[in-house]
Amino acid sequence: MAAELLKGFRMLDLADDKGALCGKIFADLGADVIKIEPPGGCPTRLIPPFLEDRPGPDRSLYAIAYHAGKRSITLNLESAEGRDMLGALVRKADFLVESFAPGYLEGLGLGYAELDRLNPRLIYTSITPFGDTGPGRDYKAADIVTWAAGGMMFQMGDPGRPPLQMAQPQAGLHAGAEAAVASLIAHYPREIEGRGQHAVVNMQACIVWTLMNEQAMPLLHGDYLRRSGVFTGAIGGRRKTVFKCKDGYVSGLIAGGAYLPSTKALIGWMKEEGAAPDWLVKEGGLKDLTAAGFMSADAEALDELARAEAALEDFLSTKTKREIWQNILKRRILAAPVSTVADIAVDPQLKSREFFTEVEAPALQRKITLPGAFAKLSKTPIGPAGPPPGVGEHNQAVYGELLGLTPARLAELHAAGVI
Amino acid sequence: MRRYAFEGIHVLDFTWFAVGPVTTKYLADNGADVIRIESRARLDGLRMAPPWRDGKPGVDNSQFFASYNTSKKGLTLDMSKPEARAIFLKLLPWADVVTESFTPKTLRNWGLDYERMSAIKPDLIMLSTCMQGQTGPHRDYPGFGNLLAALSGFYYSGYSPDELCPPYGAYTDFIAPRFAACALMAALDYRRRAGQGQYIDMAQYEAALHFLAPALVDYFATGRVMEPQANDSARYAPHGAYRCADEDGHERWIALAVENDQEWTATLKVLGAASADMRLATFSGRIADRGSVDELVGGLTRTRHAEELTVALQTAGVSAYPVQNCMDLHRDENLEAFGFWHWLDHPHMGPSPYEGLEHRLSRTPGELRSPAPTVGQHNDEILTGMLGMTPAEIEQLKVDKVVF
């Protein structure tokens, strides 16, 4: 069931939660991704929460989601024999991705320079929290800490309360996806010229890239942005973006500029249902809302807008997310329901595109449902390549097929703690 | 040896706003020739969005636009006019890749779907990326990444289930390009090997959901619905942002995460805790009483200098970093050591620092090769150099607002 796109290419995946998504993307694209774990299993298998809250090496939801479609072998890199075996695997590989502390693999004689000598075609991608040269090269980076270092955390939360993390850890996902991009950039010239290279991904920089237009604000506008909770107010005005409705929340904005037609459609809907106060639909509409001006900072206009937002929330409180979504689509309003994962699971759009993909997971003795293809390709479809592997599930297959090791030899290596 | 990975790759790029341009920027910064086709009749919204040079709005004065369009060339064509479409079709045989990020009906209305284009250029790769994909009942939904972040579950961060907190900005706009670039680059190499182009339909929604995969797997398996968890984690305690001493009237916070008892002992030592509460000495004790942990840690960080405390904690083996604002990022010594900020001298805006690349390649490193094009900056160069048009012909097209 592997996709044709990267069929025949092999990646050795030594990444933890700073980069597991890289190998997952490669597996979705059809590469043979071999996850190399220390005997006993990779630390990502310990990441809570667990399926049905029952801990176990195959039950981490993180590991299930981001190792699906990979093969797993165990290998002790701290042993001389294990290092030799990695070298032998490298000769049969096209890509390697790792996220150890910078310098760790070099210390074991498994740095880029050494592995390049074994296989000059190898693309060796290192994921680092803070780069490989700066004063923080040895810093530990929990996901929330990188989120903070990259500037996103400062922007999330209410003024006067602590800055917030994201819904789920995200920094390692950005780094993992960026590692896949970097590996594929290097892949193109490698297939023409036959030479691999070393890619170093900087996780902190990956977060800086999520800051949208914020980075240049201090230099061009003389000040940095401050978090404003559910309000947006990059320049001047302060506008509410989350509204309560009957069964949850909706996101939208009353504003001018690109939002003006949407604002008019929204107020038009309220008017149709008799829910718009007279002052809101008076001739000329809301003060200062123009096609040219996105926001207003004028005090009188802001007060009027705040009252408009209150009227809108009263109106939306009588509607469900579903009703509101139908009207958003029909009236071309720039808004969206604030979906829970339960809403997403039954979204008719995703259903019609057959997005979610069920796979049988033998290690869990059940089926699991994964996000499906991240893109639809007309000639070489991609998507989840299979279930997450058990620890060392493919030792025999991989070591037999790639290194010609017999079951008897594997038993010896197992007894010696190498695999 | 080639200097850049995608030297010799040619792209005609209709994308606008963020996802498409950030995707094609990966190609452009790595040596591909990317011609961005836009029109004054319907300008990229980012050309009219801040930050502006000197705070002055202007179509060539937005660094929001300039950040995402480095290393590209600019051609203006009003594609609603048949003459403009004819010019595009003359350029098409040159292209290896065509990209667009309109709502699905736009290119069809121009008569420019993949079928039509691949009849002219059989091994063409085309990428379409919109919010929800080219098919399905919601395909024509127009929106921005901030709304897609709501639709795809990212608003479920917050202080409590009744106090949701959206991520800053158009969050999904910075997930989707990484996936789009992977699909596009793998398709380019497949074409090189197999001689076949193809059509890529990337729904930004579907790409973004990969960043919430564990919560989705959980829901489908057990029915548990992800809720906001403030700054809590089941893996670390303490885990969060803690207020430090203000500096020059600005609030300062430190983020830290403690994974085990050894790190907890080290944390208490660095923070100078007089006597440790024994109930909090074990991981399970700290997880069970996060409130007390946060109170203890927050009380001790309040008088400390965030950067000095970071160095002390990291030296003791504890993960920590100041919660940086945007000003801090410009003087962050780790970003500086990586060479992240890249100064470009824009023809209209002058010099300013840009986000550089998030990775570094040893043999064919990408770089910001040139500043973003001003509106129509390369019209004459492209129309004369590639299509052999005379200055008089070009002038007439400008008068007719075809080249516009």
Q: Do B164 and A249 touch (CB under 8 A)?
A: yes
Whole-angstrom Cα distance, residue A362 to residue A271? 56
The minimal CB distance from A5 to the residues B166, B186, B217 is found for B186
What are the angstrom distances between the C-alpha of A136 and each of B33, B129, B227, B311?
36, 37, 33, 9
- B207 and B307 in a common domain: no
Residue B32: what pLDDT? 98
Q: Give chain B's largest Cα–Cα span.
A: 85
The 10s digit of each residue's pLDDT in B36-54 is 999 999 999 999 888 888 8
CATH assignment at residue A272: 3.30.1540.10
C-alpha A332/C-alpha A364 separation (Å) is 44
Tens of pLDDT, residues B223-279? 999 999 999 999 999 999 999 999 999 999 999 999 999 999 999 999 999 777 889
From A408's Cα to the closest Cα of chain B, the distance in A is 38
CB of B365 within 8 Å of a chain A CB? The answer is no
Query: At a CB cut-off of 8 Å and minimum separation 6, what does A19 contact?
Result: A97, A98, A99, A127, A172, A175, A176, A179, A201
Are B299 and B373 contained in the same domain? no
pLDDT value for A372: 98
Cross-strand pairs, A32:
A10
| Rounded distance between C-alpha atoms, residue A30 and residue B291, angstroms | 46
Domain's final residue, options B263, B292, B327: B327
Distance CA B267, CA B313 (A): 7
Q: B53 and B177 share a domain? A: yes
Over its length of 419 residues, how does chain A's per-residue pLDDT go in tens digits? 578 999 999 999 999 999 999 999 999 999 999 999 999 999 999 999 999 999 999 999 999 999 999 999 999 999 999 999 999 999 999 999 999 999 999 999 999 999 999 999 999 999 999 999 999 999 999 999 999 999 999 999 999 999 999 999 999 999 999 999 999 999 999 999 999 999 999 999 999 999 998 888 887 778 888 899 988 865 556 789 999 999 999 999 988 877 889 999 999 999 999 999 888 887 656 766 776 666 666 767 778 888 899 999 999 999 999 999 999 999 999 999 999 999 999 999 999 999 999 999 999 999 999 999 999 999 999 999 999 999 999 999 999 999 999 999 999 999 999 99
Q: Which range marks the domain in which residue B276 is found?
A: 239-327
Q: Which of A311, A340, A369 is the last residue of a domain?
A: A340
Q: Which residues of B are catalytic?
A: 173
Chain A residues in contact with B321 (beta carbon < 8 A) = 136, 139, 141, 145-146, 148-149
CATH number of the domain bearing residue A145: 3.40.50.10540
* Predicted local confidence at residue A297, as pLDDT: 60
A230: tokens are 């559910």
Interface of A with B in 72-111 (CB under 8 A): none
Query: A363 with A241, same domain?
Result: no
Residue A352 at interface with chain B, using a CB cutoff of 8 Å: yes
Residues 282-341 of A with CB under 8 A from B: 294, 328-329, 332, 334-341
CB B165 within 8 A of CB B150: no
B54, B159, B209 member nearest A161 (Cβ): B159
Give, as one character, the DSSP assignment of residue B48.
G
Per-residue pLDDT of B353-385, as tens digits, reads: 999 999 999 999 999 999 999 999 999 999 999
The domain tally of chain B equals 2
Q: Do A217 and B52 touch (CB under 8 A)?
A: no
Separation between Cα atoms, residue A148 and residue B256, nearest integer Å: 9
Q: What is the largest CA-CA distance in chain A?
A: 87
**Six token digits for residue B385:** 């150099």
The alpha helices in B43-96, defined as continuous H runs, are 63-68, 82-91
∠A307-A312-A317 over CA atoms, to 5°? 130
Exposure string for A303-331, b = 16+ CB within 10 A, e = fewer? ebbeebbebbeebbeebebeebbebbeeb
From its phi and psi, is residue B102 left (phi > 0), alpha (psi between -120 and 50) or beta? beta
Note whether A301 and A287 are within 8 A (CB): yes
User: What distances in angstroms separate CA A174 from CA A13, A20, A44, A170, A171, one per listed residue?
Assistant: 17, 10, 16, 6, 5
**What does chain A come to in residues?**
419
**A244 CB neighbour count, 10 Å cutoff:** 15
The answer to whether position A347 is within a domain reads no
Query: Is the CB of B216 less than 8 angstroms away from the CB of A369?
Result: yes
- Whose structure tokens read 């290998």? A75
**Count of domains forming chain A:** 2
Residue for token pair 């206009």:
A301
**From CA A190, how far away is CA B117, in angstroms rounded?**
29
8 Å CB contact between A2 and A38: no
Q: Is residue B374 part of a domain?
A: yes
State chain B's mean pLDDT as an integer. 96
Are B123 and B203 part of one and the same domain? yes
Is residue B262 domain-shared with residue B124, that is, in the same domain?
no
CB of A144 less than 8 A from some CB of B: yes
B180 has pLDDT over 60: yes
Closest chain A CA to residue B221? A368
